[in-house]
Each structure stands twice: as structure tokens, then as C-alpha cells.
Amino acid sequence: MDSASRPHKASIRPAAPPAAKPRVGRTRLLVNGLHSKSGGGVTYLRNVLPLFARDEEIDLHLCIQEDQRSLLPAGMENVTLHVLPHPLTFWRLLFWEQISLPRLARRIAADATFSPANYGPVFSPNTVILIRNAIHVAFVERRPIKFVYWAGVYAATALSLIRCRRAIAVSEYARRSVTAGLLKGLRDRIRVIPHGVDPMYTPPPANAKREDFILAVSDVYVQKNLTNLLFAVARLRPYHPSISLRIAGSFIDADYYETLKRIVDNENLADHVQFLGQVSPANLVDLYRRCAVFIFPSVVETFGNPLVEAMASAAPIASSNTAAMPEVVGDAGLLFDPTDVDAIAVAINKFIRNPAIRVEYSRRAVARAQSFSWEATASRTLAVIKEAASTPR
């Protein structure tokens, strides 16, 4: 990876003065990675960037903030890195990327700008956006400041969708939800390209035994519906005194995390629930392979990377039946209504009481995981970007 220049304040200069235009046949692509800091955004960049860089028709440039360096994949070559040295707040960053990022794109003579975060600079050349954030979170959020945040995400998404040359959605649900109402006429410009799954997620050895714990993997946000999951565990505890739930994910929403801890205390679940925080990829592989049940109770999700990771690891899956989850899981999991605590408890109980069901859904999960590949995701995404870069308005 090329060494990055050190810009001053909110300006970015390219790492090296590029030629006025890339070599004939190459597309100079600027990837706007500024918003990819946790969860699915980081997973996406880590997997597609090395694949983008291998394409001989792509001259790849990446723009990030200084504190994102550690999130990038190691050993990535053929990438010119542009770094904003000082992290900005969400709202300042939104304003900044509309001014300085287009200037950077023009300075390096970018043929296309790809923003994998719902929104991006509306005046950059040939913009392509990735619809991966669930804007309908605004409908389940009750805190005013958080509601305003998601309303801002929706507005930025709508404006970017109107202005972009092409758009990609990670699921059909994401495509439909972002083009509801007044934006319905823009649906045809959106291609559906699902995420892939890293090859490191594989089934455990044939003779390995799964342990008696339930696993949930998600950063702590209100839409992840972990409150109802905790209440379901509380209802099952009298029938399964040794029931154990492990939750792996960063504590992004501090207020919501405090709510979860209060439920644990009030329901006497301290000996039954572990908040693991952010875990390393290697430890996550191990958790998927050892859990008795993988539970995904989210109410709003455009894809759900942990679902395909768990499927590839042969974990028996219980998932909510809303948003994109049925689309991703197919017949590889038991589906439940995430708003119904009893329904969540029933799904978990089926797996706990019936080893044969666990074996069957483990088999289905591995088969379903074959449908997802990062190589296919990257290849199809680059095809859309190249089309955007070469299509006149």
C-alpha cells in the first residue's frame, strides 16, 4: 500500500501526483471509506478492497480517516491511500465529504467514486453508492437525538440516490425499503449484490462436539433487539437452569448497553449472560463452531453478515423473520417473530430439546452458505462501477 500524505485539517492531497488520466483501459476508482468504522462496513472493506486491487483494469484509490488504518486488511498492494488525519464528528464529516472529497476526486482525475455507506459526495464524478444501512431504524428508535441521526441518514441516502450514476443494494429488501414512497421511480437504477463470506468460516471437524451455549453476534444497537432476546432467555431459565447466552459485539450504543445490563440484573441473568465485546476474527470462528444455537433477533437489517458466517460454520440458526433475514437465511434456519418474546423462546427451545433438529439445520446452513462469495460480490460490484464510469449522462 502506498504511503499516505499528511493533509492539514480537513483537506486531502493524493499520495503521489497522478497522471492526468489512468492508462488506457484502466478505471481510476476512488473508494470513499470514511464511514466504515465498525460492523458490516469494516467487514465489507476488508474483503472487497484486496479483490478490487487485483483487477488489472482498476487504478484503486482509498480515502479514510487516520483512526481507520488499523481496520484495513494487511498486505494490500496496488492501492493509493489518502488519509484525513483528524477524526471528525458524524455531522462535520457529512459536510466535509461534500466539499473536499469531490476536490480530491477531480485532483486525481477519478473516473468513478464508490461510497459503501448509503451516501457519498453528490458532486464527485460518476458516483456509485452501496445501500447497506437499514434506514428504517428510525421507525424503531424512540430517543430524539438518535431519531434525528437516522433521519439525517435517510435524507443523505435519498439525496445520494437521486444524484448517483448507479447504486447497489445488499439485498432485495434494502432495494425496496430505500425506494419506498417518492423514491420508487429510482428503483431500476439499483442492482442487488449480496455480501459474501470469508473462507475462514468453515464447519468444525466431524468429531467435534458443540457446547451448550447460545451465541448472538452483533454490535450493540437498538435495532438488534437484544432486549427481547434477554427476556426470552429469562423465560427459558426455569426449564433450562444452565442456559447460557454469549453476545459478541462492540458496545456502540452506550445507552442501549446500559438498558441491557439493567435487564440482566432485574431478570437475575448475571450467571447466564456474557457480553464479550468485540472479539477477534479467530475467536469469532471458534465461537461459531462451538455454539449450540446461533440466534439473530434483529428487527431491521439489510443483510446480516453474521448470518452467513454462522451458516458457513455449520451453526444451527434461529433468526427473526423480518427485513432481509428470510432472504438471506432461506430454509437454513428456524424463523421467528422478533417482536414476540415467546416466539424467540420457542425457537431456542426447539434446538435445545431436539439434537436431531440441530443436526438437520446445521446441514442446511452449510449448503446455504455456498450461495455467498466475496469474489462474486467484488466482481459484480466492479462491473457496475465500470459501467457507471463509462456511461455518459
- Say if residue 299 is exposed, middle or buried (CB neighbours under 10 Å; 0-12, 13-18, 19+): buried
Domain hosting residue 175, numbered range: 27-196+374-390
Q: Is residue 207 part of a domain?
A: no
**Do 223 and 302 fall into the same domain?**
yes
**Do 77 and 154 fall into the same domain?**
yes
DSSP 5: B
**Do 277 and 151 fall into the same domain?**
no
**Do 297 and 219 fall into the same domain?**
yes
**Do 263 and 192 fall into the same domain?**
no
∠ Cα 52 54 58 (to 5°): 60
Amino acid at 67: D
**How far, in Å, CA of 103 to CA of 106, rounded?**
5
Task: Please identify which residue in the block is written with the cell numbers 423473520.
Answer: 321
Q: Is residue 233 part of a domain?
A: yes
**Do 221 and 340 fall into the same domain?**
yes
**Do 65 and 134 fall into the same domain?**
yes
Q: Hey, what's the cell of 213?
A: 451455549
Q: Is residue 333 part of a domain?
A: yes
Q: What is the mean pLDDT of each run of 10 residues along the chain (393 residues)?
A: 38 42 72 84 90 95 88 80 78 81 94 92 93 62 62 75 92 88 78 96 93 95 94 98 97 94 98 96 96 96 94 98 96 97 98 96 98 97 95 62
∠ Cα 182 185 191 (to 5°): 120
Q: Is residue 14 part of a domain?
A: no
pLDDT of the residue at 23:
45
Q: Is residue 201 part of a domain?
A: no
**Do 138 and 107 fall into the same domain?**
yes
Amino acid at 36: S
**Do 163 and 294 fall into the same domain?**
no
- For the CA atoms of the chain, what is the radius of gyration? 22
Q: What share of the chain is helix, strand, coil (3-state, %, to 5)?
A: 45, 15, 40
Number of other residues whose CB lies within 10 A of the CB of residue 3: 10
Amino acid at 129: I
Question: What does residue 310 show for φ and ψ, rounded to 5 degrees?
Answer: -65, -40
Output the domain CATH number for residue 112. 3.40.50.2000
Q: How far is CA 305 from CA 17, 251, 301, 329, in A?
A: 37, 18, 10, 11
Q: What is the pTM assigned to this prediction?
A: 0.85
**Do 156 and 31 fall into the same domain?**
yes
Question: Which segments of the chain are extended strands (E)?
Answer: 27-32, 58-65, 79-84, 112-115, 127-131, 166-169, 190-192, 214-217, 245-248, 273-277, 293-296, 317-320, 333-336
Cα-Cα-Cα-Cα torsion 370, 318, 194, 136, nearest 10 degrees, comes to 180
306, 289, 295, 290: which is closest to 348 by C-alpha?
295
**How far, in Å, CA of 248 to CA of 275, rounded?**
6
Q: Is residue 248 part of a domain?
A: yes
pLDDT of the residue at 21:
44
Q: Is residue 182 part of a domain?
A: yes
Question: What does residue 334 show for φ and ψ, rounded to 5 degrees?
Answer: -80, 125
Question: How far, in whole angstroms, is CA 210 from its chain's centroid?
Answer: 27
**Do 128 and 169 fall into the same domain?**
yes
Q: Is residue 305 part of a domain?
A: yes
The torsion region of residue 58 among left (phi > 0), alpha (psi -120 to 50) and beta comes to beta
User: Cβ(138)–Cβ(147) under 8 Å?
Assistant: yes
Total tally of structural domains belonging to the chain: 2
**How far, in Å, CA of 162 to CA of 165, rounded?**
9
**Do 160 and 226 fall into the same domain?**
no
